[in-house]
Amino acid sequence: MKRVFANMGWLLGGRGFNAVLSLVYLAIAARTLGTDGFGHFALIIALGQAITGFSSFQTWQFIVRWGADPDRPGVDIERAREATGFAVALDFLSMAVGTLASAVLVLTAHLWLDVPPDLLWLTFWYCVISLVTIRTTPTGMLRLHSEYGKATGAEAVQPVIRASGAVLAWLFMPDVTGFILAFAASEVATAFALWVVAARVQPVSLTSISLRAIPSRHKDAWKFVLSTNMSGSLAVAGKQVMILLVGTFGGAYLAGGFRIANQLGVALIALAQTISKAILPELVQSRDGAVEMARRMANIAAMAGVTAVITAILFGREGLALIAGEEFTGFYWAMIILSIAGAVELVGASLESLLISAGKAHVAFLVRLFPTILALLMLEMAIDWKGAQGAGFAVLGSSVLAVVGFYLAIMNLKQFRIVVVDDTKDEGADTRPASPER
């Protein structure tokens, strides 16, 4: 348990820095743009992140999985180069597919998205920049070499640029365009910083870029690629697509308020992700005490969630007024509902990690899938019933169903055991890759 809390401390430190600066640029943008303007801003950001999320792959997982030395702890440089080349090739594929999707969605945006026509070109180019600055590959390179400190330092560029860019936009271009440019600049700067740091740790060989090398040696490569893409798409559907649909059914005003309420309540979900990342390695290594550890972490999460919800109830209205302005205080109850959803996710984080560590990642995915689909299908009805609060209830219902599903899945396991997959048993995995041409 000590190592779990130590891991959480490091992760929360980076998230805490990001969270503080996030509140700074959120406050500046909301107060400068007002409800409708901030709604347009939120919809453009959500569209760019949704397209990127659906088009991109979790390439960092490929690098970590196929770049390690199969015979001893550490990195096999030749394998790492080959895995990185495969990841870069997938990034190029994501850019091409995503750019085409961006063009189609922006050209049809007037039919379904509450964004003014004069902002559609800005929307398209923001989507393109989001695709070009995909950065899971350099992140994977740094994780493979255990350079977490360097990765955290490079990623810290994003909130700094966003906050400083928001100040510049407020001073010189206090409109939606100015704040979108600030966000775009932060994406470019962060991607540049990560690639520079990663390339110093492991230089990238252009001759290793290929979509065929890794699949020729690992028979399950494309299955793994597609499964991780589906998991990433599911996460996007639960966040960015939800905001887009709120804007579609309720307009820019509702989308902006929902974004504010969600971002203030999302700190709990971020904590849930932190707990998951901190506990998963310990579950894998502590096989005998895995269930007990997960139970204790779930209890701790439940207490933390209740405390956070009570805090939101007591001080949430003042927090909304302080950060976003009085016009956003009407979204107080939506924020409360979303904070409760975050508390539920806190409990579910350790249960989900327990399933994944038991080799049941596909079960965890399916348990997440159906509540998410149900929430999206019920969203229009929920908004017609109660506006932003209805959208919050859709999110809450999805979270509750998912956590109940995790619990039932764990209870129904006939024999619980932690498994570690040895990827070296893949067909052809015992053959070392040829050195890339220089």
**What is the full DSSP assignment across 204-248?**
PPGGG--SSHHHHH-TTHHHHHHHHHHHHHHHHHHHHHHHHHHHH
Q: How many CA atoms lie within 13 A of 282 on its CB side?
A: 22
Residue 195 confidence (pLDDT): 96
Residues 6+ apart with CB under 8 A from 192: none
**Which pTM value belongs to this model?**
0.82
> Which residue blocks in 56-135 are alpha helix, DSSP H?
59-66, 77-107, 109-112, 120-132
- Model confidence over 310-361: pLDDT tens digits? 888 888 898 889 888 888 999 999 999 998 988 888 777 777 767 766 667 6
**68: three-class secondary structure by DSSP:** strand
Residue 424 confidence (pLDDT): 46
Residues 6+ apart with CB under 8 A from 115: 40, 43, 44, 109, 123, 252
In this structure, the number of other CB atoms found within 10 A of the CB of residue 112 comes to 13
How does residue 57 score in pLDDT terms, banded at 50, 70 and 90?
A: confident
- Model confidence over 258-284: pLDDT tens digits? 999 988 876 555 555 555 444 444 444
How does residue 103 score in pLDDT terms, banded at 50, 70 and 90?
A: very high
How does residue 198 score in pLDDT terms, banded at 50, 70 and 90?
A: very high
- Model confidence over 217-268: pLDDT tens digits? 888 888 878 877 787 788 777 789 999 999 999 999 999 999 999 888 765 5
Pick from 389, 303, 397: nearest CA to 350: 303
Pick from 262, 260, 264, 37: nearest CA to 170: 37
Assign 3-state DSSP to the chain and report helix, strand, coil percentages, each to 5. Answer: 85, 0, 15
Cα distances from 117 to residues 108, 196, 308, in angstroms, run: 11, 37, 41
Euclidean distance between the first and the last CA atom of the chain, given in angstroms as a whole number: 47
DSSP structural state of residue 75? B
Which amino acid, one-letter code, is at 353? S
- Model confidence over 356-390: pLDDT tens digits? 666 676 788 888 899 999 999 999 999 999 999 99
Angle between helices 157-172 and 2-55 (to 10 degrees): 60
Which tokens belong to 169? 């936009």
